[in-house]
Amino acid sequence: MTAGFQTLEIRQDREHVETVVLRRPEVANALNTRMGEELFAYFEALAMTPSRVRCVVLTGAGEKAFCAGGDLKERNGMSMEAWAAQHLVFERMARALVTCPVPIIAAVNGAAYGGGCEIAAACDFVYAAERATFALTEVRLGVIPGAGGTRSITRAVGERRAKELILTARSFSAADALEWGLVNAVFPGDALLGKAVETAAQIACNAPLAVRQAKHAISRGSGMSLSDAMAFEIEAYNRLVPTEDRLEGVRAFNERRAPRFKGC
């Protein structure tokens, strides 16, 4: 699945955990068409075989940038048809991130601007380095966030704050992102990836079917009324009752040992 990737590095830092590195450091890991295609391919393949990995950490190469947004050099002089075709790739990439059944932790190691900020916001939650900065700069280019940013940012920080950030296009710090709810935790740069992988490993130790159903219930339920969300939660819960992992969890508790989950 990972063979032939040019803009991504895929590695396994812990059991059941994969780290995906955006690797175009010469251009601050800017998002070009190839990277969009490869991110879509990776996360779409993971959606087809979610039992292969239990958690993913997404980060950028180097210390300066997570992802500087769309590669404007590649876009310079694009026809409207080519621009639209490229953006369709980015739309599919964003949907693959948002709908991936496996939890994704963004480890934002540097600048996350434009589409890079949207990629981070599309993940399930975000850890950031102290040096990280964020911005939604699209209105300076005559467009708006188009990879889910108007919704993902709004859901994270609230409507009024999202309007301020998107309409001004100004940058903000990791500390600001933490205070406003876009980021879950901030760490020194040299500790960031280790902390993200450590959290991913904690997730991977839990029953994978239960983790995926919990993520599904939270994501879908957030757009429902309370009564509908509760009904959806019960459906997700009931799918887990007949599983071997549910039986193993109870056995392990009573036998005072760590459970051995198999994802079935």
Residues recognised as catalytic: 118, 138
Q: In what order do the strands lie in the sheet with 185-187?
A: 8-14, 17-22, 55-60, 104-108, 125-129, 185-187
User: Nearest 5 degrees, angle CA 30-CA 35-CA 37?
Assistant: 145
Residue 83, CB half-sphere, CA atoms under 13 Å: how many? Answer: 11
Residue count of the chain: 264
Candidates 119, 122, 101; CA nearest to 47 is: 101
What are the residues facing 71 on neighbouring strands?
Answer: none
Candidates 10, 105, 31; CA nearest to 2 is: 10
DSSP 221-242: HTTS-HHHHHHHHHHHHHHHTT
DSSP H helical ranges for the chain: 33-48, 72-75, 80-99, 115-122, 149-157, 159-168, 174-180, 189-204, 208-221, 226-240, 244-255
User: Nearest 5 degrees, angle CA 180-CA 94-CA 62?
Assistant: 70
- Which tokens go with 248? 């193993």
66 three-state secondary structure: strand
